[in-house]
Amino acid sequence: MKKILISACLAGDKVRYDGRQVPLTNALLSQWDGKGLLVKVCPEVSGGLKIPRLEAQIVGGNGWDVLKGAARVIDIQGHDVTSFFIRGAEYALSIAGRFGIDVAVLKEKSPSCGVHHIYDGQFASRRIPGCGVTTAVLKQNGIKVFSENELDQAALYL
């Protein structure tokens, strides 16, 4: 079976901006893990951000807009952290290439890893449709990206 790129926080690593993990308990995921198929990546940490770090959101659009230069990733104190997010997304893509990966399972709502939803850039817990920066880069390069709620669909491509 092919390997699967997975958000490191879903796989139990304490890499979130607040230093927490959000481990996913799921039989399919445990099966993949047991077979050594999971390749963990945290784009934000790989892009150079620390743990913990300030919460950040995409302002002015979604991950695709960030790649076009039409939106930015801004932290809650107003610092522009876009370059870290792009660097992390490119790192995730390089890892996928190294392992011949074409399926990823990423954490919904993150400005990096969100697949179908992200926050609206106002830091008010409002979700909007759209993906994060890493999801956009992976999709742009032909990788199928699923959220943690879509493991069954991801399994169809392994």
> Tokens 């493991």 belong to which residue?
151
Of the candidate residues 112, 135, 146, 151, the single one contacting ligand SF4 (CB under 6 A): 112
- Residue 40 near residue 8 (C-beta atoms within 8 A): yes
Q: Name the minimum Å distance from CB 157 to ligand SF4.
A: 20
Of the candidate residues 4, 7, 75, 137, the single one contacting ligand SF4 (CB under 6 A): 7
Q: Is 15 one of the binding residues for ligand SF4 (CB under 6 A)?
A: yes
- Residue 145 near residue 106 (C-beta atoms within 8 A): yes
> Tokens 């697949």 belong to which residue?
115
Q: Is 86 one of the binding residues for ligand SF4 (CB under 6 A)?
A: no
Q: Is 148 one of the binding residues for ligand SF4 (CB under 6 A)?
A: no
DSSP letter string, 101-150:
--EEEE-TB-TTT-SSEEE-SSSSS-EEE---HHHHHHHHTT-EEEETT-
Q: Is 3 one of the binding residues for ligand SF4 (CB under 6 A)?
A: no
DSSP letter string, 41-85:
E-HHHHTT--SS---EEEESS-HHHHHHTS-EEEETTS-B-HHHH
Q: Name the minimum Å distance from CB 110 to ligand SF4.
A: 3
Specify the residue, 50 or 126, whose C-beta has the smaller distance to ligand SF4.
50
Q: Is 110 one of the binding residues for ligand SF4 (CB under 6 A)?
A: yes
Query: Which two three-digit tokens encode residue 66?
Result: 């960030």
Q: Is 8 one of the binding residues for ligand SF4 (CB under 6 A)?
A: yes
Q: Which of residues 24-63 bind ligand SF4 (CB under 6 A)?
A: 42-44
Interacting residues with ligand SF4 (CB under 6 A): 7-9, 15-16, 42-44, 107, 110, 112-113
